[in-house]
Amino acid sequence: MVMKTYSYDYDEYEEGKGPSTMVEDILADPEFPGLTELVIGSWGSAYEDGCQPIIDGIVENAGQFGHIEKLFIGDMDFEECEVSWIIQGDYSKLWAALPNLRELTIKGSTDLGLGEICHENLEALTIICGGLPTGVIEEIEKARLPKLKKLLLYIGSDNYGFDGNADTIRGFLERVQLPQLEYLGIVDSEIQDELAAAVLESKFMGQIRTLDLSCGTLSDKGGELLLEKIPQYGNIEKLDVHYHFMSDGMVKKLEALPVAVDASEKNVADNYRGETYMYAMLTE
């Protein structure tokens, strides 16, 4: 894979660069035809202007983007733009425009729309955000992605866009059809124990190789469920629960499971005036 990131800093933005100039600059780059992986970083004003002109430009010039196999739109850190402030766009026309696309990563969920998802070759879909709206979850639920092997969804917080609950995820997992799925990630939630229960009840437990429940508020309650369920599925090779709120004793028990376990980044809950607070890794 040959990868390159295109982004604008503050000075370039002040000089007139922005989402409407990004695709033009990409196409003018002599290195672009040799790339297979395209990363779009900050477009200069992600908290004010969405990336729709970038998406539209890719669609309008689809023939020149046909060699791109991996696409990441919104790769920026909090100093450039907080994830919950990133204004995204409508991806409904992108699916048909890039038939050779194998991996799509989207960061940010404000104004995000996926439309009717139908792609014969996509193998990985990742959405990184501080809160995933149920409307986007429903669009993925109806998707036709026969070759999808990896699905990684940051659920986030209701303060930053997630307007569902554990039943939302439970219903999603019941209805979505992903026959080739090998990696299931339902991560970064403030109700991670409840989502762990929903995932562990899902039809995908008998087919996936990697279970990712990381970056959220997973506690010993969720850990007990994992201890009970994971040994029932010999297909699972890796359990990722890094960034968690489990006790040392629970971590040791999980690490003794017959799978590769990542239980790093232990956190301790905050206590304030008798209330206990646990936070997901990525929200604002």
CA distance 203 to 273: 41
Cβ(282)–Cβ(128) below 8 Å: yes
Q: What is the pLDDT of residue 275?
A: 85
Q: What is the pLDDT of residue 273?
A: 83
Q: Does the pTM of the predicted model rise above 0.95?
A: yes
Q: What is the pLDDT of residue 58?
A: 98
Q: What is the pLDDT of residue 276?
A: 84
Cβ(174)–Cβ(138) below 8 Å: no
Q: What is the pLDDT of residue 239?
A: 98
Q: What is the pLDDT of residue 1?
A: 77
- 10-residue averages of pLDDT along the chain (284 residues): 93 93 97 97 93 98 97 96 96 98 98 98 98 98 98 96 97 98 98 98 98 98 98 98 98 98 96 88 93
Max Cα separation, the chain?
A: 61
Nearest to 18 by CA among 91, 87, 109, 72: 87
Residue 233 token pair? 């599925």
Q: What is the pLDDT of residue 272?
A: 83
Q: What are phi and psi of 268, to 5 degrees?
A: -120, 135
Cβ(141)–Cβ(114) below 8 Å: no
